[in-house]
Amino acid sequence: MRERFIRFMQGRYGGDQFGNFIVIVALVLLVIAFFIPSYLVKNIFHGIVVLLLIYTYVRMFSKNHEKYARQNQRYLKYCGKIKRVILKKKENAAQRKTHRIFRCPNCRQAIRVPKGKGKIAILCPRCDTEFIRRS
Ligand SMILES: [Zn+2]
């Protein structure tokens, strides 16, 4: 039995990160469906969950490695982008406590200056325009 299963899985794509992601989405939809009072909407959600799970099995048992590996790469690339955006937002939030960002009135360049220094003259590094702001 075990051997037959191993032989069956030979050359098949198997699991990957995107596959795991689809399963998580399906589980989340299942939990949301649990709280939906309308039977019609609940059934639509259940239908989507079943389709998603069928799709993960199709991917797992497929012998078209190239297609699903490419799909997974796209997914990982997208995850990386989202992670970078979140990281940038966190950095900006941390900086807002100690710094202020001003825009150059001439060229719109963003310039970061330390907070709480009173009125200061800011020199734009891009176009050399000087302007006064309270930091
Ligand atoms: Zn400027």
**CB-CB neighbours of 19 under 10 Å:** 20
Q: Is the pLDDT score of 132 beyond 90? A: yes
What is the per-residue pLDDT across 86-125, written as a single tens digit (0 to 9) for each? 999 999 899 889 999 999 999 999 999 999 999 999 999 9
Q: Measuring CA to CA, which residue among 66, 61, 59 is closest to residue 18? A: 59
Residue indicated by tokens 């399963």: 23
What is the length of the chain? 135
What is the per-residue pLDDT across 35-91, written as a single tens digit (0 to 9) for each? 999 999 999 999 999 999 999 999 999 999 999 999 999 999 999 999 999 999 999
Distance between CA atoms of residues 131 and 113, nearest Å: 13
Token pair of 38 as six digits: 């309308």
Find the 24 Cα to ligand 1 centroid distance in Å: 48
Find the 128 Cα to ligand 1 centroid distance in Å: 6
Residue indicated by tokens 């997974």: 72
Q: Is the pLDDT score of 5 beyond 90? A: no
Find the 130 Cα to ligand 1 centroid distance in Å: 8
Find the 86 Cα to ligand 1 centroid distance in Å: 28
Domain boundaries, the chain: 2-97
Bridge partners for 71 per DSSP: none
Q: Measuring CA to CA, which residue among 55, 48, 15, 18 is closest to residue 30? A: 48
What is the per-residue pLDDT across 35-45, written as a single tens digit (0 to 9) for each? 999 999 999 99
